[in-house]
Amino acid sequence: MDIAGQIVAVSCRRGHHFSKDNQLSIRLVAGHGVEGDGHAGATVKHRSRVRVDATQPNLRQVHLIHAELFDELDAQGFRIAPGALGENVTTRGIDLLSLPRGTLLKLGDEALIEITGLRNPCSQIEAYRPGLLAAVLDRDADGNVVRKTGVMAIVLRGGDVRPGDPIGQTLPPEPHQSLRPV
């Protein structure tokens, strides 16, 4: 497993809230997500997905955002702190958005997660800061929407995760599948 980046911050919060509180550490639980977090569980917890089918598997157990997005947003006048956009893990040095589906990330010494897809930014981002939704969406050269608000993952092996921990990366076998919103 290649070292690909580092954890900048870890966050969680009980209940369903837009932002999460920074912590000294979080515990990832296999098949469940972040212990004590409102979005943890084997089945979907996001309100819009629960309304559709509450028995769907939870492919959004852990939300990761790259700190480089916060740097980009800061240059546009949006000061965003880790955890503010609801992520559990803020990273640096790993291009999360370019990873294929099924990429394995080792967080710290023990935890292992599998990338399932992209976070699809919703209107709550706009309510949090007017203009922010447009700032986290872009278009590529072909006109396709680029969602910048991070990736979602499931927990394969639990463990404690802290700021400063390394992130190891293993790509899945080819052919690679591009990330889509989950």
Residue 48's pLDDT is 78
Give the per-residue pLDDT at 68.
98
Mean pLDDT confidence for 160-173:
98
What is the per-residue pLDDT for 5? 96
Residue 75 is predicted with a pLDDT of 97
pLDDT tens for residues 121-146?
Answer: 988 899 999 999 999 999 999 999 99
**Single-letter residue type at 54:** A
Q: Is the distance from CB of 38 to CB of 26 less than 8 angstroms? A: no
Q: Provide the pLDDT for residue 123.
A: 85
Mean pLDDT (whole number) for 2-26: 94
Each domain of the chain, given as residue ranges in start order, spans 2-170
Residue 16 pLDDT > 80, yes or no?
Answer: yes
User: Picking from 30-39, 92-101, 122-131, 171-180, which range would have the lowest pLDDT averaged per residue?
Assistant: 122-131
What CATH superfamily is the domain 2-170? PK beta-barrel domain-like (2.40.33.20)
Asked if 165 and 108 touch (Cβ cutoff 8 Å), the reply is yes
**pLDDT the model gives residue 160:** 98
Averaged pLDDT, 26-55 = 91
Residue 178's CB is within 10 A of a number of other CB atoms, namely 10
pLDDT at position 2? 85
Residues 28 and 62 sit within 8 Å (Cβ to Cβ): yes
Q: What is the mean pLDDT of residues 57-82?
A: 97
Give the H/E segment covering residue 127.
helix 123-128
Query: Model's pTM, two decimal places?
Result: 0.96
Average pLDDT over residues 73-86: 97
Alpha-carbon distance 28 to 21, whole Å?
A: 16
